[in-house]
């Protein structure tokens, strides 16, 4: 009995871009002085009142990458810091959420993390402008089928289209040039996909088309101090637990052009003893994905 309880671990997870909504974080700001201080510090670091855009802005205002990423990060960290006695045994974040997770496990100070998120967001926005590109969600196919179609379309067209987010079984997001994504979506439907739908995103995140953003982010990450981890982070590109700051840095850079292995990360966390997952930040997207990967853990959220 004792060993069973000893192995019960509490994982904290943090969402990424696409979970933003008008009014996000407002109740935290109004109801919690610690959250309010954090938002104000964020406004100061960014040099504009992002809290005003979060609380009063439209969905379109929030959709710009340079706003979305810091907004989701701020909301996630404020929610986490408002939790009493949050002591994660492990953490993970979906894409941008890795930066929130690294604040939660003590690797990054809040101000340093927000600066990196801001640099990442503007570098990604610039990369999107260089290469008109997009992403699409493919529902109802096995991962291997999606991978095969992407490879075939790449080989035929010479354009980029790759698996980008392994979200849960039967839900894989692909990323690439507009032309290649259009062809791939038709092929996915022909192969039996329930849906293959282009997403309203600025560009091909987690694909080689993000390479122009890599150098700028790598330089910023390289010159930022990362502390030792209080608990491991299960990183997107490897779906393995890491505590070594040097490796964490490398994976954060690789993540720009590499796939988010979310389903694989969740499986590994459960294999390593996670029996409870708490999502911290806007929305409930990750809670839903986790239960589709494995419905045995207890899943809740704090926003």
Nearest Cα to Cα of residue 142 among 183, 174, 184, 172: 172
CA distances to 46, 94, 138, 293 from 264, rounded to whole Å, are: 34, 12, 17, 9
**Among 82, 95, 100, 133, the one annotated catalytic:** 95
Q: In residues, how long is the chain?
A: 303
Is residue 17 within 8 Å of residue 100, measured between CB atoms?
A: no
Q: Is residue 113 within 8 Å of residue 72, measured between CB atoms?
A: no
CA of 259: how far to CAs of 1, 10, 98, 163, in Å?
39, 25, 13, 7
287 exposure class (CB count in 10 Å sphere: 0-12, 13-18, 19+): middle
Please say if 10 is a catalytic residue: no
DSSP-derived pairing of the beta strands 241-242 and 233-234: antiparallel
Active site residue 95: yes
Which one is catalytic: 133, 177, 206, 280? Answer: 206
For 9-30, b/e burial (b = at least 16 CB within 10 A) is bbbbbbbbbbbbeeebbeebbe
| Residue where the block lists tokens 């796939």 | 259
Q: Of 94, 170, 182, 72, which Cα lies nearest the Cα of 135?
A: 182
Q: Which two tokens stand for residue 17?
A: 């871009």
Cα separation of 265 and 54, whole Å? 30
- H-type alpha helices, the chain: 2-6, 26-31, 33-46, 50-56, 59-63, 65-82, 97-104, 110-130, 143-157, 178-190, 211-222, 245-257, 262-271, 285-293
Q: Please give the positions annotated as active site.
A: 95, 206
């Amino acid at each position: 009995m004792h060993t069973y309880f000893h192995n019960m671990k509490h994982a904290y997870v943090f969402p990424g871009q696409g979970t933003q909504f008008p009014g996000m974080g407002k109740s935290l700001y109004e109801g919690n002085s610690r959250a309010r201080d954090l938002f104000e510090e964020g406004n100061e670091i960014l040099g504009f009142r992002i809290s005003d855009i979060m609380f009063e802005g439209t969905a379109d205002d929030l959709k710009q990458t340079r706003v979305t990423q810091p907004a989701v990060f701020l909301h996630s960290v404020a929610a986490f810091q408002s939790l009493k006695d949050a002591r994660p045994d492990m953490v993970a974040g979906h894409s941008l959420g890795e930066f929130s997770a690294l604040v939660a496990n003590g690797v990054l100070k809040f101000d340093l993390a927000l600066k990196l998120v801001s640099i990442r967001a503007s570098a990604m926005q610039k990369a999107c402008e260089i290469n008109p590109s997009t992403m699409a969600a493919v529902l109802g196919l096995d991962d291997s089928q999606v991978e095969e179609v992407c490879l075939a379309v790449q080989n035929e067209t010479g354009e980029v289209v790759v698996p980008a987010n392994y979200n849960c079984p039967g839900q894989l997001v692909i990323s690439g040039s507009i032309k290649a994504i259009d062809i791939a979506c038709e092929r996915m439907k022909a192969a039996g996909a329930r849906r293959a739908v282009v997403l309203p995103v600025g560009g091909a995140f987690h694909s080689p088309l993000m390479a122009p953003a890599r150098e700028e982010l790598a330089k910023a990450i390289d010159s930022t101090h990362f502390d030792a981890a209080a608990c491991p982070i299960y990183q997107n590109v490897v779906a393995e637990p890491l505590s070594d700051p040097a490796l964490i840095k490398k994976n954060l850079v690789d993540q720009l052009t590499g796939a988010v292995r979310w389903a694989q990360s969740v499986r590994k966390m459960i294999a390593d003893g996670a029996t409870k997952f708490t999502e911290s930040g806007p929305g409930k997207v990750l809670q839903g994905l986790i239960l589709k990967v494995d419905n045995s853990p207890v899943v809740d959220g704090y926003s």
